[in-house]
Amino acid sequence: MIESDIDLQPHNTLAISAQSAHFARVQTLDQLREALTFARQRRLPILPLGGGSNIVLTGDFPGLAIQLDLRGLSVKSGDFGHTVSAAAGENWHQLVMTTVEKGLGGLENLALIPGKVGAAPIQNIGAYGIELRDRFSSLQAMEIASGEIHRFDTGDCAFAYRDSVFKGSLRDQYIITQVSLALPGAWEPCIGYPALHGYLQKRNWESGALTPAVVAQAVTDIRNSKLPLPEIIPNAGSFFKNPVVETALYESLKAVHPGLVAFAAGDRWKLAAAWLIDRAGWRGVRRNAVGVHDSQALVLVNPGRGSGEELTGLAEEIAADVYAKFGVSLEPEPRYYP
């Protein structure tokens, strides 16, 4: 069941070639437990793998990569709403479309996000004003040290902007095996993002006539128009998180750059990292095999199948330049391995 010296290139959407010392594809909880025991006995680090759309391989991985292929999906309706439960290896977009096709609303803004269900809570995936935490009910996860299954409710997950307890104090301690979501009985569309609103307005959609399927189609069309498909141009989506800064810094930047794109985030301000990178002159720039996408400056691309080092080198150059020009620090969103 456990293979050795496997190239992870087909397992990451940046198409970076890097060897994993060991590799296992698991389809049951028992297989996952066995894989964890194998790693524990050899003191190997573990790389849980979903769709590989939010990782950067900076070199060979000296441990055990575990491809999570646990399957199963159910949708149950009750008096107050709907419960969707899915195993970690289910495709996220398929889950969204399963609910949309049943006429259920709540997940449509999260259509077309690549990857698997098990990774969705890790960074509390979000798009177009909805985050996973808005629909989250609970999850089950296997503790890496013991092989025991534990349940986590919303309060246990410390969800925040592109963040959760699994990137913080519980990093590398659990493998998520199943996720349950709660969809509202009465659906309210969330169409405040300018791109989404503009798309629907252009097609004369009255809000009363909207359905989850219409919103899902709008999100799909908008995303397809500006994001590169990883199968064609390898990428990991947004390479940096949108920085959240103090009001004083926001105001000083806004005074110098009236076009700055920013949104209130509590008593601080979220700046559009894409605007900063674009304004610093990086959109469309190429560095040998790697570069910055020409219609979305937040997306670093790897059309020449370059190395993780080339890509992270470019990311560091961009972050340093943005800091020099705006005094704002950019933090990568995907996780680097090893």
Q: List active site positions.
A: 162, 238, 333
Q: State the minimum distance, in angstroms, from the CB of residue 49 to ligand FAD.
A: 5
Which of 235, 296, 302, 312 is in the footprint of ligand FAD by CB under 6 A? Answer: 235
Using CB under 6 A as the binding criterion, the count of chain residues that bind ligand FAD stands at 32
Q: Which residues pair with 238 in a beta bridge?
A: 299
> Residue 184 contacts by C-beta under 8 Å, 6 or more apart in sequence?
81, 105, 106
- Applying CB under 6 A, does 47 fall inside the site for ligand FAD? yes
Length of the chain measured in residues = 338
* Nearer residue to ligand NAP within complex by CB, 32 or 200: 200
Q: How many CB atoms lie within 10 A of CB 324?
A: 9
- 13 touches which of ligand NAP, ligand FAD, none (CB within 5 to 8 A by kind)? ligand FAD
Please tell me whether residue 51 binds ligand FAD under the rule CB under 6 A. Answer: yes
Give yes or no for a contact between 273 and 240, defined as CB atoms under 8 angstroms apart: yes
Instruction: Pick one of ligand FAD, ligand NAP, none as the site partner of residue 102 (Cβ within 5 to 8 A by kind).
Output: none
Q: Find the shortest distance in angstroms from Cβ 199 to ligand FAD.
A: 16
Residues that bind ligand NAP (CB under 6 A): 126-128, 192-195, 226-227, 237-238, 242, 261, 263, 272, 274, 296, 298, 333
Say if residues 226 and 296 touch (Cβ distance below 8 Å): yes
In degrees rounded to 5, what are phi and psi of residue 222? -65, -45
Nearer to ligand NAP, 36 or 130 (CB): 130
Nearer CB in complex with ligand NAP: 146/295:
295
Strands 268-271 and 149-153: unpaired
Q: Which of residues 164-193 bind ligand FAD (CB under 6 A)?
A: 175-176
State phi, psi for 136 to the nearest 5 degrees.
Answer: -80, 145
- Shortest distance, position 248 Cβ to ligand FAD, whole Å: 29
Q: Which does 193 bind (CB under 5 to 8 A by kind): ligand NAP, ligand FAD, none?
A: ligand NAP
Residue 230 touches ligand FAD, criterion: CB under 6 A: yes
Is there binding between residue 104 and ligand FAD (CB under 6 A)?
no
- Give the binding site for ligand FAD (CB under 6 A): 13, 47-55, 68, 88, 113-116, 118-120, 122-123, 125-127, 175-176, 227, 230, 235-237, 335
